[in-house]
């Protein structure tokens, strides 16, 4: 695969993407996220710049250690 070195660092979320015409309340990933809590289902998380030009919107962002463990699975 031409971009295999890039794909190896991407975590995937099982399940179907949210309906963009009728999105769920709160975080769009709540139905598919194993770390979702009640807060996720009622409040949309704000976008936070974690590095220059890199943003995330999550009430429970993964630490680098957890991310690396997920990549090893």
Model confidence, pTM: 0.63
Span 21-42, pLDDT tens digits: 998 899 998 988 888 999 999 9
**DSSP H or E segment with residue 5:** helix 4-7
**Which residues contact residue 71 at a Cβ distance below 8 angstroms, ignoring those fewer than 6 apart?**
8, 9, 11
29-59 burial, b at 16+ Cβ within 10 Å, e below that, comes to bbebbeebeeebeeeebeeeeeeeeeeeebb
Span 35-72, pLDDT tens digits: 899 999 999 999 988 889 989 899 988 766 666 666 55
């Amino acid at each position: 695969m031409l971009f295999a070195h890039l794909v190896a660092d991407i975590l995937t979320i099982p399940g179907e993407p949210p309906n963009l015409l009728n999105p769920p309340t709160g975080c769009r990933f709540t139905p598919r996220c194993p770390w979702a809590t009640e807060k996720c289902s009622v409040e949309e998380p704000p976008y936070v710049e974690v590095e220059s030009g890199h943003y995330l919107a999550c009430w429970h962002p993964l630490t680098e250690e957890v991310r690396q463990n997920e990549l090893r699975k």
